[in-house]
């Protein structure tokens, strides 16, 4: 009899759920949230429909709303009142993220609060750390002076009550430097989720509007990775694992699933960041009526999980958590 093998047998409607290999849950999701210390009322982010910049005063209400939707983890970004070349507001005791962390933890103690360790929202030039002249005479991000800055930022965030820190500046040695600083300050138990494999992606465009973190000269290609490089991507994550990262990350997510699947083999938990541009593309197509938003968003997240992500940072976290609970 032809065909001998009939895979459609197990696709009968009532059998399908038994053979689903990947199930997205609200626990997989981490919601990015922007806090702006220069505003009194929430401001919508034009390039990311549905996302807002919130004043610190809204932190408790936002955290409560996310918790009610089923979101268990957030990653916080700050828009400070003042920027300078040394990113002082990134590690100020009463800095915008430090205040936001404390407010979220006070309102929702069970919420996992993760902080992004980077300087690009806090420097006047918009680069991710300290700028200066390299040994070849170029003006560029200086690696080792920037490491010292990241140590201060991470420790200040842990002091504010962050559950986990997430270095995102793609400096060589960032995980070990931050691990040593946290340990020395008494935070040996705070995990590091490293943006270990972060590509220099044009899909971060809407985020740079949202966080006011665009750069004033050059680009980020001397520290973030070339999207064309998969072997180097693996090595970056492998090195961060060796430096003591607790969780690795691939960013962006949807176009880098091959990298995600490879990085998973290292053996540590892996996060994937569905970035601003991935979100805004879906939003724009849905607004035109060209794509079904809910189905496409859940499909994109399920595929990221299928490829190997244990955790997914996504601007869809709140909607997806709600959609998933409605389906049950």
User: Which residues are identified as catalytic?
Assistant: 198, 251
Residue list, annotated binding site: 118, 120, 128, 208, 220, 236, 276, 315
Q: Does 275 participate in binding ligand PBG (rule CB under 6 A)? A: yes
Q: Does 193 participate in binding ligand PBG (rule CB under 6 A)? A: no
Counting residues that bind ligand PBG (by CB under 6 A) gives 12
CB atoms within 10 A of CB 37: 18
Query: Read out DSSP for 299-317?
Result: HHHHHHHHHT-SEEEETTH
- For the chain, list the strands marked E by DSSP: 29-36, 43-44, 52-54, 73-79, 112-117, 131-133, 139-141, 164-167, 197-198, 248-251, 270-274, 311-314
Q: CB 274 → ligand PBG: shortest distance, Å? A: 8
Q: CB 155 → ligand PBG: shortest distance, Å? A: 18
Based on CB atoms, which residue is closest to ligand PBG, 99 or 146?
Answer: 146
Q: Does 69 participate in binding ligand PBG (rule CB under 6 A)? A: no
Based on CB atoms, which residue is closest to ligand PBG, 54 or 207?
Answer: 207
d(CA 28, CA 158): 23
Given candidates 204, 223, 256, 323, which one binds ligand PBG under the rule CB under 6 A? 204
Given candidates 59, 66, 104, 128, which one binds ligand PBG under the rule CB under 6 A? 128
d(CA 189, CA 105): 17
The H or E element that residue 156 is part of is helix 143-160
Give the contact letters, 83-122, x = binds to ligand PBG (CB under 6 A), - = no: ---------------------------------x-x-x--
Q: Are strands 197-198 and 73-79 parallel, antiparallel or unpaired?
A: unpaired
Residue list, annotated binding site for Mg(2+): 236
Q: CB 12 → ligand PBG: shortest distance, Å? A: 40
d(CA 270, CA 23): 16
Q: Does 223 participate in binding ligand PBG (rule CB under 6 A)? A: no
Residue list, annotated binding site for Zn(2+): 118, 120, 128
The H or E element that residue 69 is part of is helix 59-69
- Sole window of 149-157, 177-185, 201-209, 255-263 interacting with ligand PBG (rule: CB under 6 A): 201-209
Given candidates 151, 168, 174, 197, which one binds ligand PBG under the rule CB under 6 A? 168
d(CA 303, CA 1): 35
Q: Does 141 participate in binding ligand PBG (rule CB under 6 A)? A: no
Q: Look at the chain and count its residues.
A: 328
Q: CB 49 → ligand PBG: shortest distance, Å? A: 14
Residue 272, judged by CB atoms within 10 A of its CB (0-12, 13-18, 19+), counts as buried
Backbone angles phi, psi at 123, to 5 degrees: -95, 145
Q: Does 323 participate in binding ligand PBG (rule CB under 6 A)? A: no
Q: What's the Cα-to-Cα distance from 273 to each of 16, 44, 197, 229, rounded to whole Å?
A: 29, 21, 10, 18
Q: CB 312 → ligand PBG: shortest distance, Å? A: 12
Q: What's the distance, CA 238 to chain centroid?
A: 19
Q: CB 8 → ligand PBG: shortest distance, Å? A: 39
CB 231 within 8 Å of CB 263: no
Q: Does 62 participate in binding ligand PBG (rule CB under 6 A)? A: no
- Sole window of 56-64, 180-188, 203-211, 287-295 interacting with ligand PBG (rule: CB under 6 A): 203-211
Residue list, annotated binding site for 5-aminolevulinate: 208, 220, 276, 315
Q: Which residues bind ligand PBG (CB under 6 A)?
A: 116, 118, 120, 128, 168-169, 204, 207-208, 213, 275-276
């Amino acid at each position: 009899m032809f065909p001998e093998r009939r895979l459609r047998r197990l696709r009968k409607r009532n059998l399908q759920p038994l053979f689903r290999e990947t199930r997205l849950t609200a626990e997989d999701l981490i919601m990015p949230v922007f806090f702006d210390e220069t505003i009194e009322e929430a401001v919508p982010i034009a390039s990311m429909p549905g996302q807002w910049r919130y004043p610190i005063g809204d932190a408790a209400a936002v955290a409560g709303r996310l918790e009610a939707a089923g979101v268990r983890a957030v990653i916080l970004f700050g828009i400070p009142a003042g920027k300078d070349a040394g990113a002082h507001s990134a590690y100020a005791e009463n800095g915008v993220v430090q205040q936001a962390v404390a407010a979220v933890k006070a309102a929702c103690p069970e919420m996992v609060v993760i902080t992004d360790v980077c300087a690009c929202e806090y420097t006047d030039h918009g680069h991710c750390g300290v700028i200066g002249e390299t040994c070849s005479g170029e003006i560029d991000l200086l690696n080792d002076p920037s490491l010292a800055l990241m140590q201060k930022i991470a420790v200040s965030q842990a002091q504010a009550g962050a559950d986990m820190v997430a270095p995102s500046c793609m400096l060589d040695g960032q995980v070990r430097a931050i691990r040593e600083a946290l340990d020395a300050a008494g935070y040996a138990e705070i995990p590091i989720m490293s943006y270990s494999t972060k590509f220099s992606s044009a899909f971060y465009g809407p985020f740079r509007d949202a966080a006011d973190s665009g750069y004033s000269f050059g680009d980020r290609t001397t520290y973030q990775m070339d999207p064309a490089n998969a072997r180097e991507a693996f090595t970056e994550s492998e090195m961060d694992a060796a430096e003591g990262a607790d969780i690795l990350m691939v960013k962006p997510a949807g176009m880098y699933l091959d990298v995600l699947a490879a990085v998973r083999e290292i053996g540590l938990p892996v996060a994937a960041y569905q970035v601003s541009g991935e979100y805004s593309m879906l939003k724009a197509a849905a607004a035109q009526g060209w794509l079904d938003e809910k189905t496409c968003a859940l499909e994109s997240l399920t595929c990221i999980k299928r490829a190997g992500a244990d955790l997914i940072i996504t601007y869809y976290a709140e909607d997806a958590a709600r959609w998933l609970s409605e389906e049950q």
